[in-house]
Structure 1
Amino acid sequence: MGSKNCEVCKGEQSKYKCPTCFIPYCSMVCFKKHKDIPCEKPVPPSEEPPKHSDTLKDITDERLQEIDDPSCVLSKEQLESIVKSSEIRSFLADVNLQKMIQKVDSSRDPENELDKAMGDQTFLQFTDKVRSIINPEE
């Protein structure tokens, strides 16, 4: 393990690490200087908060602008019904179904890709179940 220089004074070899943010420092003087500026514990990459442009609200807002007919947008209650359905969760355990959904969602021509996916029995059953949940009276 190679030695590092102090991140505060940049001159001396570090002997210690800040217990909060783990930056290396060489002395009590540098530690006190470092603590004058509040530091934070680093966030592991898997726990990083989403970038502003990647938040669900931003993605939803962008997608809503692409919709010609706002009546096609599901209500919060409809979405919650889908999420709570054990049958839907069971369908979504199928890796092939996951791949088909991802392919439709990421396609440059999603309508064409959806038409292709509708030829698959599992995908067809899945979409029928979703429709029965969002429109129970049909």
Structure 2
Amino acid sequence: MNKTCEICSKEARYKCPTCMIFYCSVPCCKIHRQNKCDVLQRDEEEEMANLIVKRRKIETMTESTVPEDKLKLLNSNEEVNNLLTNSHLRNLLVAIDKSDNAEEVMQKAMQEPIFVEFADACLKVVEDKTEVEENS
């Protein structure tokens, strides 16, 4: 997620605790403070947070993105839950999640039979039956 400094438009690392704008450095913070930042009203803050979440979802949507309602089906799938009792599989998933290069780590994980079995089980749950039949 790229955050942009509201003062100089560089990459921002910090957020003003008062008004929640992003800034990149002490000099930009000082400029911002000189302009007397205002506290966002609670409703405005929540509305802004909702817009940010919505924007992130849109930005990360691709043609292969699985809809949220189908992802929720994974939670109640017995096969998926049984596979998740395997500590080696859980460790692989954690490694992928924490990795800076998840694609590379996932390629290595695809060499593990338990990971392939898990991926197949997940795909069975989230893919439309019509899509599966068309691809067969």
Which of the residues 63, 68, 87 maps onto 1:71?
Answer: 63
TM-score by length of 2: 0.51
Residues 1:83 and 2:45 aligned together? no
- Corresponding residue for 2:18? none
Q: 1:76 to 1:62 in 2, by over 3 A?
A: closer
> Which secondary structure does the structure 2 equivalent of 1:71 belong to?
coil
**Structure 1 unaligned residues grouped into runs of 5+:** 1-57
Q: Corresponding residue for 1:20? A: none
Q: Letter of the aligned partner of 2:116 in structure 1?
A: L
Q: Work out which of the residue numbers 116, 119, 129 in structure 1 matches 2:108.
A: 116
Distance change >3 Å, CA 77–CA 62, structure 1 → 2 = closer
Letter matched to residue 94 of structure 1: N
Deviation at 1:73, TM superposition (A): 2.2
Residues of 1 paired with 2:94 and 2:124: CA distance? 22
Per-residue CA distance 1:5-41 (angstroms, 9 max, x = gap) = xxxxxxxxxxxxxxxxxxxxxxxxxxxxxxxxxxxxx
Distance 2:54 2:94 in 1: 17
Q: Percent identity?
A: 16
Gaps in structure 2 of 5+ consecutive residues: 1-51
Q: TM-score, normalised by structure 1?
A: 0.51
